[in-house]
Amino acid sequence: MSRLSLSSVPRPILWTLGGIAALTAIGLLRLYWPFGPAKAEGSPAPLVTTLRVSPIEVADRVSFTGAIGARDEAALSAEEGGRVSELHAEVGDRVRRGQLLARLDNSLVAPQIASLQASLEESRANAAVAEADYRRAQAVAAIGALSAQEIERRGAAAIAAQAKVKVVTAQLNEAQARYRRTEIRAPFDGIVLTRGAEVGQLASPGGAALFRIGRAGGIEMRGNVAERDLPQLAVGQRADVRVTGVAQAFPGKVRLIGAVIDPQTRLGSVRIDLVPHKDLRPGAFARGEISVGAALRPIIPQTAVMSDANGNYVFIIDDAVTVVRRSISVAGSRPEGLVVASGLQAGDRIVVTAGPYLRVGEKVRVAP
For the chain, domain boundaries: 47-59+297-366, 63-72+217-293, 74-105+183-216, 106-181
Element spanning 238, H or E:
strand 238-243
pLDDT the model gives residue 28? 46
Of the CA atoms within 13 Å of residue 44, those in its CB half-sphere come to 5
Rounded Cα distance between 77 and 184, Å, is: 8
Non-local (6+) Cβ contacts of 65 within 8 A are 223, 224, 285, 286, 287, 288
pLDDT the model gives residue 31? 39
What pLDDT digit, counting tens, does each position of 124-138 carry? 998 898 888 888 888
Rounded Cα distance between 255 and 21, Å, is: 86
CA distances from 5 to 9, 16, 84, 349, 368 (A): 7, 17, 118, 69, 66
pLDDT the model gives residue 18? 60
Rounded Cα distance between 346 and 348, Å, is: 6
What's the burial of 61, exposed, middle or buried (CB within 10 Å: 0-12/13-18/19+)?
A: buried
Rounded Cα distance between 63 and 262, Å, is: 18
Q: Where are the alpha helices (DSSP H) in 190-274?
A: none
- Which long-range CB contacts under 8 A does 196-202 form with residues at least 24 apart? 197/84, 197/87, 197/101, 197/102, 198/84, 198/87, 199/84, 199/85, 199/86, 199/87, 200/83, 200/84, 201/83, 201/84, 202/81, 202/82, 202/83
pLDDT the model gives residue 193? 87
What pLDDT digit, counting tens, does each position of 128-180 carry? 988 888 888 887 777 777 777 887 888 888 899 899 999 999 999 998 888 88
Alpha-carbon dihedral sign for residues 247, 253, 255, 259: positive
Q: Which fold has domain 47-59+297-366?
A: 2.40.420
3-state SS assignment for residue 143: helix
CATH class of the 106-181 domain in this structure = mainly alpha
What pLDDT digit, counting tens, does each position of 189-234 carry? 888 888 988 888 888 888 888 998 988 768 899 999 988 888 889 9
Architecture of domain 74-105+183-216: Beta Barrel (2.40)
Task: Tell me the CATH number of domain 63-72+217-293, given options 2.40.30.170, 3.20.20.105, 3.90.550.10, 1.10.1200.10.
Answer: 2.40.30.170
What pLDDT digit, counting tens, does each position of 308-353 carry? 888 899 999 888 889 999 999 887 777 788 888 888 888 899 998 7
